[in-house]
């Protein structure tokens, strides 16, 4: 099946990536612009956002399409405004990141729990699998960045690893909370073991890297 990316969707993804990247690197970006800090942290922030947020959302999209659904990334304008306003007013001290999300709907062949290519389907199971794709990607990248951080000496790559690790752990941990509208609620509702398998490593890393180390 095709990727089903429209030109408007691609622009929305790029806009969300830039806004969120600027938000998480606001202080360093300002420092770079006025000549008081380097560009390495800014680049690291953009890389982290690409893995932590964009690939998280694209995971939802890809899995949804593979399972016969329509999936489209949309900007949330008020989310963009809040992201920019909060980080500017707090001078980088507080980041609110909700610039957009992937919206999913049944295809013409997928109504009433039936898909012509797959036969009878379980919408709740599909919803769980699609929801798990995002935080599952966060977990995979968090482990990858953790290994990179442990293996490389201090420098640019270690900066990328730290930003990538913290952002993927933060976003993944938050999304795995069993709260309505978040991925975690949809996953835990269908399978507690799968929910815990994704959530526990993310929550453990979040606690370790934010409160222990």
| pLDDT tens column, 116-167 | 455 557 888 999 999 999 999 999 999 999 999 999 998 889 999 999 999 9
Average pLDDT, the chain: 87
Higher pLDDT, 26 or 106: 26
Please, which residues bridge with residue 70 across strands? 105
Is 115 a residue whose pLDDT tops 80? no
* Model confidence pLDDT, tens digit, residues 31-61: 888 877 778 889 998 999 999 999 999 999 9
Residue 183's pLDDT is what? 94
Q: How far apart are CA 207 and CA 75, in angstroms?
A: 31
Mean pLDDT over 7-15 rounds to: 89
SS3 74: strand
Measured in degrees and rounded to the nearest 5, phi and psi for residue 35 equal 85, 20
Mean pLDDT value across residues 77-100: 82
Supply the pLDDT for residue 112.
46
Burial (CB count <10 Å: 0-12, 13-18, 19+), residue 7: exposed
DSSP-derived letter for residue 115 is: E
- 102 or 4: which carries more pLDDT confidence? 102
Looking at residue 161, what is its pLDDT?
94
Q: Are 159 and 37 in contact (CB under 8 A)?
A: no
Q: Are 208 and 93 in contact (CB under 8 A)?
A: no
- Copy the structure tokens of residue 16: 């969300």
Q: Where are the alpha helices (DSSP H) in 25-122?
A: 26-33, 40-49, 55-66, 77-89
Position 181 confidence tier, pLDDT thresholds 50, 70, 90: confident
Residues in the chain: 213
**Per-residue pLDDT, 123:** 84
Give residue 12's pLDDT: 92
Q: Where are the beta strands (DSSP E) in the chain?
A: 69-75, 100-106, 114-115, 119-120
């Amino acid at each position: 099946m095709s990727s089903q990316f429209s030109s408007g969707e691609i622009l929305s993804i790029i806009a969300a990536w830039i806004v969120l990247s600027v938000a998480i690197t606001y202080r360093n970006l300002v420092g770079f612009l006025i000549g008081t800090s380097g560009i390495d942290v800014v680049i690291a922030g953009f890389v982290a956002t690409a893995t932590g947020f964009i690939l998280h959302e694209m995971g939802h999209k890809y899995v949804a399409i593979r399972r016969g659904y329509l999936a489209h990334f949309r900007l949330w304008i008020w989310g963009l405004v809040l992201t920019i306003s909060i980080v500017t007013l707090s001078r980088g001290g507080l980041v609110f990141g909700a610039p957009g999300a992937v919206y999913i709907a049944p295809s013409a062949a997928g109504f009433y729990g039936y898909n012509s290519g797959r036969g009878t389907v379980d919408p709740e199971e599909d919803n769980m699998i699609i929801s798990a794709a995002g935080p599952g990607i966060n977990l995979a990248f968090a482990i990858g960045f953790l290994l990179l951080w442990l293996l490389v000496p201090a420098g640019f790559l270690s900066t990328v690893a730290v930003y990538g690790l913290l952002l993927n752990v933060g976003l993944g941990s938050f999304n795995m909370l069993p709260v309505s509208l978040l991925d975690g609620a949809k996953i835990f509702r269908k399978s507690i073991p799968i929910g815990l398998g994704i959530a526990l490593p993310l929550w453990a890393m979040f606690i370790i890297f934010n409160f222990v180390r």
